[in-house]
Structures are given as structure tokens and as C-alpha cells.
Amino acid sequence: MVADSESLLTGPGALDTIVFGASPQGRVMARARSCLVSSTIFSNSYLLFWGQLMNHGMYKFFVGALMTGLMLQASFAFGTKYELTRNSMQDPEGIDAVEVSLYQVKLGDPEATAVELLLEEKIAGIRAEQEGTFILLWDKSKPTGAMAGVRIVDGKVDLIFMNDRFSHKVRGIFRTVLTSKTAQEIRELLGNEDFKNETLMGAKLLYEEKGFLVNFLDSSVNVEFCLGCSDLYNSF
């Protein structure tokens, strides 16, 4: 009995024994308090764990959102890949001639690449021909004139062009551009040009920073993508 009393006064629950006494009722109350303390410690640890997890999750969310925003900003700053016959690019801010392609042919590609992709590859519904420095694409169903193509200078593609005959093939914002009825409609789609040359017959809208020129002549629309082509810019 003495040993039991000593263990109660020196064991882990000594404080509870002193507070509640060594009687059976006191032991029950001491055990209840001990369970309550343990439960409280577990609850606090549980809340601390989930708090840290939530903080870590919010940190990851914040970093992820920041990186996404920076990537989007960079894509607009440097242009977005725009395959004219595939991508539905609608934002004029993302247009950059460097990233524009016609059936996968881009400005600066070697002549061999253009010949392979436009002449040797059989594109459905299109007849391709090489005439002088140009590779021209014709609509087989309405072969009234070339509807798109590229120009080869010094062994490389230096110009990509398309006109309103190509409107049923192109996707994105330039489908609407090629079917525009006025120069003002084109401005509303693409924004104001860097330089303009307007006459009674039509207008030339030069978007020099983005690397393309829109020719609007008597309801016919022609778009030319080129980087530093002096022959396109000499009329401005």
C-alpha cells in the first residue's frame, strides 16, 4: 500500500494525484484529466500539421500562378506560334512574323525545306508550283489564281503571303482579316498600323514591329509576312 502511494506521488501522474487525491474517485478524475491533456496535444499537433500543409500548398499555388503569368507575358512579348492553317490565334498581340508558318514553312527556312513541305508533300485540295523565286499554292477547286505561297531569296524563305482566296483555309484572326470589306475593319481587328499609305483605291497597312503588311485594294486583301524586306516597305 505504501509502495502504491509512493508510485502515485512520484510517477507521471504525480501532479494529478496531488490535485485530485489518491482515492478511487481521485484516480478516475486524474485519468480523465490526463486523457483531456493528451487529446488537446493531439488536436494542436493535428492543426499545426494541416496549417503547415495549407501554407505549403498556398505557397505552391502562388508560385505556380506567378510562373504561369510570366510565361503568358513572355509568349505575348516574343510572339506565339501561329500555323496559319491550324492554330486559332485570335489575339493580335501574339502575332509575330518569326513564329508564323504556312504548312510548317517559316521565314528563314532553307529552300529545301520549303520544297519538301510545299511541293513534294501532297497537300489535300492544293496544287503547288514553283515559278521563279516563288512557290505558289493554288486551290484545285477554283484555280483562278495563287492563293498563298512563299518567296525564296538567297536559298531561304524571306516572305510568306496569302490573299482572300485563302480565307477558307486559314484559321484564327487572319480568316476575318482576309474577308474584311474595309481597311477600318482590318484596323479594328489588328489595331492601328505603324505606317499607312492610303489612296482612293485602297490602303497599305504596315505592322512593322510584328513583321507583316496588309494590302487592301478594292475589297481584295493580301497579307505578306516578311522581316526587313525593303521592297515591301519602300512605299512608306
Specify whether 58 is located in the same domain as 99.
Answer: no
Q: Where are the beta strands (DSSP E) in the chain?
A: 82-83, 100-102, 105-106, 126-131, 134-139, 146-153, 156-163, 195-198, 202-207, 212-217, 220-226
Give me the pLDDT at residue 19, please: 39
**Does residue 170 lie in a domain region?**
yes
Tens-digit pLDDT profile for residues 122-161: 899 999 999 999 999 999 988 889 999 999 999 999 999 9
224 domain residue, yes or no:
yes
Domain-located, residue 72: no
Is residue 192 helix, strand or coil?
coil
Do 41 and 131 reside in the same domain of the chain? no
Q: How confident is the model over 68-119, as pLDDT tens digits?
A: 444 444 443 445 689 999 999 999 999 999 999 999 999 999 999 999 999 9
Does residue 35 belong to any structural domain of this protein?
A: yes
Same domain, 60 and 92: no
Q: What CA–CA distance (Å, rounded) separates 159 from 6?
A: 99
Domain assignment of residue 76, yes or no: no
Res 126: pLDDT: 95
- The parent domain of residue 13 ranges over 2-65
Per-residue pLDDT tens for 3-59?
444 444 444 454 444 434 555 555 544 454 454 444 454 445 544 544 554 455 554
Give me the number of domains the chain comprises: 2
Which pLDDT belongs to residue 86?
94
For residues 48 and 9, state if they share a domain: yes
- The pTM (predicted TM-score) of the whole model is 0.67
